C-alpha cells in the first residue's frame, strides 16, 4: 500500500482527494438519513463496510424507512448493484491477483474507481490508480457514515446542498477525455445517457445507470464490421 501512494502522481492524488471530499459529504448524509429514520446505528455502518455501494445503500435504507420488508430491500439493492458486473470486466486487469487480493479488490469496484481507472492506459498505472482511489474512498465513506449516524438528522437532504450533483459532475469530467478518443464510444455514451434520462421518472434510484448499459448496442455495428 505504501508503494501505491509513493508512485501516485500529484494530479491523480489531487483528483482522488477532491472525489473523497464530495463522497464524504454524501456519506454523512446517508448516515444521518438512516439514523434519522429510526434505524439502529449499526445498520448503516454494516452496510457501508460490507456492501460499500452508495446507490444500493440509499435504496435499501429508503425502502426500509418506507415500511418495505428486508427481503424486498435486499433484492432492490442487488438489482441496483448489477451494474458492477460489467464494471468488473472493465477493470479486471487492475483487480486480478492472488485470491485474497482479488476478493478485496472486487469489493472496491465502484462507479468512481472504474471511471478513474479507465482514464489510464498503462497497466501499472491502472492498478495504482484503482487501489489508491478504492482504498481512499472506502476509508472516507465509512468515516462519513459514522459521523452522519452519530449526528442523527442534522443533514438529511443532499439535494439541498447540491451534493447529489457533485459525484456525477466529477465522473463526467473523468470520462470526457475517453469519449473524445473514439466516435463509437461517444455514440454509446450519448445513447446510454438518453436511456437513463428516459427511465429516471419511472424506476427507483440507481436503476437508470443499469438501463444505460443499453447504449452499448451502439458499439455492435463496429464490432460486426
Min mean pLDDT across 15-29, 53-67, 157-171, 186-200 is at 157-171
Query: Taking 90 as the threshold, does the pLDDT of residue 135 lie above it?
Result: yes
Q: Is residue 52 part of a domain?
A: yes
Domain count, the chain: 2
End-to-end CA distance of the chain: 43
Q: Is residue 109 part of a domain?
A: yes
Q: Are residues 80 and 156 in the same domain?
A: yes
More reliable by pLDDT, 102 or 83: 102
CB 31 within 8 A of CB 148: yes
> Inter-axis angle of helices 111-118 and 163-179, to 10 degrees?
30
Min mean pLDDT across 56-70, 95-109, 147-161 is at 147-161
Q: Are residues 87 and 125 in the same domain?
A: yes
> Predicted confidence band at 225 (pLDDT cuts at 50, 70, 90)?
very low
Q: Is residue 174 part of a domain?
A: no
Considering the chain, what percentage of its residues have pLDDT values greater than 70?
Answer: 76
Q: Are residues 61 and 144 in the same domain?
A: yes
Q: Is residue 130 part of a domain?
A: yes
The residue among 144, 86, 135 whose CA lies nearest residue 107 is 135
Q: Are residues 104 and 200 in the same domain?
A: no
Quick: pLDDT tens for 57-87. 887 887 787 777 788 778 877 877 887 888 8
Q: Is residue 111 part of a domain?
A: yes
Contacts of 6 (CB under 8 A, 6+ apart): none
Three-state secondary structure string covering 148-176: HHHHCCCCCCCHHHCHHHHHHHHHHHHHH
Q: Are residues 151 and 222 in the same domain?
A: no
Element (H, E) at 207: helix 207-211
Q: Given this model, what pLDDT does residue 224 score?
A: 45
Query: Taking 50 as the threshold, does the pLDDT of residue 222 lie above it?
Result: yes
Q: Are residues 224 and 157 in the same domain?
A: no
Quick: pLDDT tens for 181-221. 667 777 777 888 888 888 888 876 656 766 777 777 766 65
Q: Given this model, what pLDDT does residue 142 score?
A: 95
Q: Is residue 146 part of a domain?
A: yes
Query: Taking 80 as the threshold, does the pLDDT of residue 141 lie above it?
Result: yes
Q: Are residues 100 and 17 in the same domain?
A: yes
Q: Given this model, what pLDDT does residue 174 score?
A: 57
Q: Are residues 159 and 186 in the same domain?
A: no
Q: Which domain holds residue 216?
A: 182-225
Q: Among the three residues 113, 132, 163, which one is the final residue of a domain in this structure?
A: 163
The three cell numbers of residue 67 are: 415500511
Q: Is residue 168 part of a domain?
A: no
Q: Are residues 118 and 222 in the same domain?
A: no
Q: Are residues 122 and 25 in the same domain?
A: yes
- What's the pTM value of the predicted model, to 2 decimals? 0.72
Q: Given this model, what pLDDT does residue 108 score?
A: 92
Q: Is residue 97 part of a domain?
A: yes
Q: Are residues 83 and 117 in the same domain?
A: yes
Query: Taking 70 as the threshold, does the pLDDT of residue 167 lie above it?
Result: no
Compute the distance between CA of residue 175 and CA of residue 171 in angstroms, rounded to an integer.
6
Q: Are residues 80 and 136 in the same domain?
A: yes
Amino acid at each position: 500500500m505504501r508503494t501505491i501512494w509513493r508512485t501516485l502522481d500529484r494530479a491523480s492524488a489531487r483528483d482522488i482527494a477532491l472525489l473523497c471530499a464530495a463522497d464524504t459529504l454524501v456519506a454523512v448524509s446517508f448516515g444521518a438519513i438512516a439514523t434519522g429514520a429510526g434505524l439502529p446505528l449499526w445498520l448503516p455502518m454494516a452496510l457501508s463496510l460490507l456492501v460499500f455501494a452508495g446507490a444500493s445503500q440509499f435504496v435499501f435504507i429508503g425502502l426500509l424507512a418506507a415500511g418495505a420488508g428486508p427481503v424486498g430491500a435486499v433484492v432492490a439493492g442487488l438489482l441496483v448493484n448489477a451494474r458492477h458486473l460489467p464494471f468488473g470486466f472493465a477493470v479486471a486487469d487492475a483487480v486480478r491477483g492472488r485470491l485474497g487480493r482479488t476478493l478485496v479488490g472486487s469489493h472496491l469496484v465502484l462507479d468512481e474507481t472504474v471511471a478513474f481507472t479507465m482514464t489510464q492506459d498503462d497497466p501499472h498505472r491502472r492498478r495504482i490508480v484503482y487501489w489508491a482511489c478504492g482504498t481512499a474512498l472506502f476509508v472516507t465513506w465509512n468515516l462519513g457514515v459514522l459521523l452522519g449516524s452519530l449526528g442523527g438528522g442534522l443533514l438529511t437532504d443532499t439535494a439541498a446542498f447540491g451534493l447529489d450533483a457533485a459525484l456525477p459532475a466529477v465522473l463526467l469530467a473523468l470520462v470526457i477525455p475517453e469519449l473524445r478518443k473514439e466516435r463509437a464510444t461517444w455514440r454509446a455514451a450519448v445513447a446510454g445517457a438518453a436511456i437513463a434520462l428516459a427511465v429516471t421518472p419511472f424506476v427507483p434510484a440507481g436503476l437508470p445507470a443499469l438501463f444505460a448499459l443499453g447504449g452499448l448496442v451502439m458499439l455492435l455495428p463496429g464490432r460486426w464490421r
